[in-house]
Amino acid sequence: MTTEQTASDVPAPQGDEVLLRIERGCAVVTIDRPHARNSISPEVALGISSAIDAAEADDEVRVMILTGTPPVFCAGADLKALGAGRGPELSTPGGGFAGIVMRDRAKPLIAAVEGAALAGGTEIVCACDLVVAAEDSRFGIPEVKRGLVAAGGGLFRLGRKFPLNLAMEAALTGDPIDAKVAHQHGFVNVLSESGGALEAALGLAERIAVNAPLAVRESRRIVVDCTFADEDEAWRRTFEAEKLAMASEDVKEGVQAFIEKRPPVWTGR
């Protein structure tokens, strides 16, 4: 996990370098180090981790969005921190690199990408559930160009999200993949105009947030855990989730709202 340049930190309220705001029922987490290409410092890793903690604990938040202050999404690890011997601090317990690549969570997370998401930046995107990207953005794991190995999940997650040969090419050449190609292959859910990724991500978040929170949470978990699981385990988990949903207050509300031809009022219970 590398970055091509670093600069002075840009102070921000959350974790010194990470902004958190709630908008339209969505928690928007912003890496706010534009002069450092939004590279991951120890403070950013802690900030992202604490922002996700806050969003997960807030019942009003249905969806999370992770983005970076333009012109880039994230250029990976902060070389200045690495050079100072602070490499281990770029990971958090349970969260891994940037406080997110190994993080277990319940609520959907959308990456809103403007500009470059390279090295650890791509690995952060791979850890998200959905991706919205500006048409001029790009992804890549260029570690091999510097004699390194991408250690934030990119080497095995890219092959789950791209055709295997394309993932292998990206891993072995270190060359970037542009957003239009990523969209064609399903890595990017929504392609926006330059400067429009966050607004498009909020639109996608609203499409999720109108649904029952418990059903969304359980559906996400099965997709994450069982897409590559054996059939017996996948069916077991599916039936468990169905039983949980059918016993909820929300399923009663959903049926009643349909009968009364009105929007449902979800409680998440």
Residue 8 has pLDDT above 60, yes or no: no
pTM of the full predicted structure? 0.90
Pairing of β 96-97 and β 116-118: unpaired
Please compute the mean of the pLDDT values over residues 125-131 and round it to a whole number: 98
Catalytic residue among 17, 43, 114, 123: 123
Catalytic residue among 143, 169, 199, 260: 143
Active site includes 60? Answer: no
Give me the percent of the chain exceeding a pLDDT of 70.
Answer: 94
Please compute the mean of the pLDDT values over residues 108-117 and round it to a whole number: 98
Residue 266 is predicted with a pLDDT of 84
Active site includes 253? Answer: no
Residue 16 is predicted with a pLDDT of 66
Please compute the mean of the pLDDT values over residues 30-55 and round it to a whole number: 96
C-alpha to C-alpha distances, 226 to 35, 130, 222, 234, 238, nearest whole angstrom: 40, 17, 5, 5, 9
Residue 197 has pLDDT above 60, yes or no: yes
Please compute the mean of the pLDDT values over residues 195-208 and round it to a whole number: 97
**Ranges of H-type helices in 72-153:** 79-83, 120-126
Beta bridge partners of 148: none
Specify the residue for token string 């169905």. 242
pLDDT digits (tens, 9 = 90+) for 90-99: 999 999 999 9
**Ranges of H-type helices in the chain:** 42-57, 79-83, 120-126, 154-161, 164-173, 179-184, 197-209, 213-226, 231-246, 249-260
Question: Which CATH code is given to the segment(s) 18-209?
Answer: 3.90.226.10
